[in-house]
Structure 1
């Protein structure tokens, strides 16, 4: 399953919001430095979808706010 995610790093709180069927907005307090925000996005999506972190992979947009994520 593939979903699109819009990331808002440096937010005041960590939050995942479903916008459409396969489109989510993720707010994270982590700053986008050395992949820390990407790691936090994977962690938050893992908790939200109740899927192990090892089954979630960013396949597009590693350095962009618009990301495509694959869930195995």
Structure 2
């Protein structure tokens, strides 16, 4: 699974703000220095989606704000897609 992300490093909050430019907009508190923002992005997705960090990687955009994040292999890709939708809209699709 690929997730297209637009990150805003050095933000005041750590959160998914919504969708911007057809990408998931993620606010990160870590600075865009020494890979800190990428590490926080992977950790944030891991915690938010309840999947191991080893299943998440930045495939494209290591040095930019526009990133492609790879997630997988995972047992329940539909569940992860549903959770990403919930996080991006602030709306729950139900369990």
- Fold-level similarity (TM above 0.5): yes
Provide, for residues 15-65 of structure 1, a one-character-per-residue CA deviation record: whole Å limited to 9, x for no partner: 124428x84211111111110110001111111222111100110000000
Higher relative contact order, structure no. (Cα contacts within 8 Å, ≥ 6 residues apart)? 1
Q: Does 1:9 align with 2:14?
A: no
Q: Select the structure that is richer in helix.
A: 2
Q: Does 1:66 align with 2:66?
A: yes
Identify the range of structure 1 (4-13 vs 23-32) with the bigger mean alpha-carbon deviation: 23-32
What RMSD, in angstroms, separates the aligned Cα atoms of the two structures? 1.7
Q: How does 1:1-72 map to 2 (within 5 A)?
A: 1-19=1-19, 23-72=23-72
Give the whole-Å Cα distance in 2 for the aligned partners of 1:63 and 1:23.
17
Give the whole-Å Cα distance in 2 for the aligned partners of 1:24 and 1:8.
11
User: Which structure 2 segments of 5+ residues have no match?
Assistant: 73-95
Q: Select the structure that is richer in strand.
A: 1
Task: Give the TM-score normalised by structure 2.
Answer: 0.68
